[in-house]
Chain A
Amino acid sequence: QVQLVQSGAEVKKPGASVKVSCKASGYSFPSYYVHWVRQAPGQGLEWMGIIDPTGGSTTYAQNFQGRLTMTRDTSTSTVYMELSSLRSEDTAVYYCARYWGSWSAFDVWGQGTVVTVSS
């Protein structure tokens, strides 16, 4: 079935970087853009950015400019989200989501990856 499977929980120190993976299966990987969304504890959903799995082009939210990098590996149908210079406010659950372009919606979501930033 169509699914996105994310890598496991991470604990990082302030100033470090984290790289989360999102492996797609059950559909044509190049045909759907992938977005990343995060959710801080007890908070709402925050859009982070988007990657085109075909060409690798990206767009990032203004809040993350300079700290966020999204990449993809077409041979394994996997996209990656790397966030650098981590601070305590980056503690959150990070989700990848498939973009259903025909109707402009996020129709399939990964299970989420908990990233904890603590000294």
Chain B
Amino acid sequence: DIQMTQSPSSLSASVGDRVTITCRASQSISSYLNWYQQKPGKAPKLLIYAASSLQSGVPSTFSGSGSGTTFTLTITSLQPEDFATYYCQQTYSTPVYTFGQGTKLDIK
């Protein structure tokens, strides 16, 4: 199975900050990489698909980049509602679609 590793596992930041989360795959996954946001007690929400495409309704302060084995999720100008846990997911190895372990973003 393809392993997905996120870094950091947790991150403290302030409103207005720019943050970057990295996700690395154990083998090349082309651009088959998605990012999800999850808030406590809620289901995950799709933010970015195909590594860099913004899901409808998601603010443009979110962006994704990368291909192959290394990917990043960037949030510019953090808002209070952005404090959550973020997961990457590979959808290259059909249909076993593994997730990273998550990055918890909290308020400094």
Measuring CB to CB, which residues of chain A are less than 8 angstroms from any residue of chain B? 33, 35, 37, 44-47, 50, 59, 61-62, 95, 97, 100, 103-107, 109-112
Which residue from chain A places its CB closest to the CB of B45 in the assembled complex? A109
List of A residues within 8 angstroms of B99 by Cβ: 37, 44-47
Most buried by A among B36, B46, B102: B46
List of A residues within 8 angstroms of B46 by Cβ: 105-107
Please give 18 more A-B residue pairs, beta carbons under 8 A apart, in addition to A44-B87, A47-B96.
A45-B102, A46-B99, A47-B97, A59-B95, A59-B96, A95-B44, A97-B43, A97-B44, A103-B49, A103-B50, A104-B34, A104-B49, A104-B97, A105-B46, A105-B49, A105-B55, A106-B46, A106-B89
Measuring CB to CB, which residues of chain B are less than 8 angstroms from any residue of chain A? 1, 32, 34, 36, 38, 43-46, 49-50, 53, 55, 87, 89, 91, 95-102
With A103-B53, A104-B49 known to touch, is A112 a contact of B43 (CB < 8 Å)? Answer: yes
List of A residues within 8 angstroms of B49 by Cβ: 100, 103-105, 107
Q: How far is the CB of B75 from chain A (nearest CB, A)?
A: 19
Partner of B98, one of A33, A47, A97: A47
Question: Do A61 and B96 touch across chains, with their CB atoms under 8 A apart?
Answer: yes
List of B residues within 8 angstroms of A33 by Cβ: 95
Cα–Cα, bound, A103→B89 (Å): 13
Cα–Cα, bound, A61→B46 (Å): 22
Which residue from chain A places its CB closest to the CB of B91 in the assembled complex? A104
List of A residues within 8 angstroms of B45 by Cβ: 109
Cα–Cα, bound, A37→B49 (Å): 18
Cα–Cα, bound, A109→B42 (Å): 10
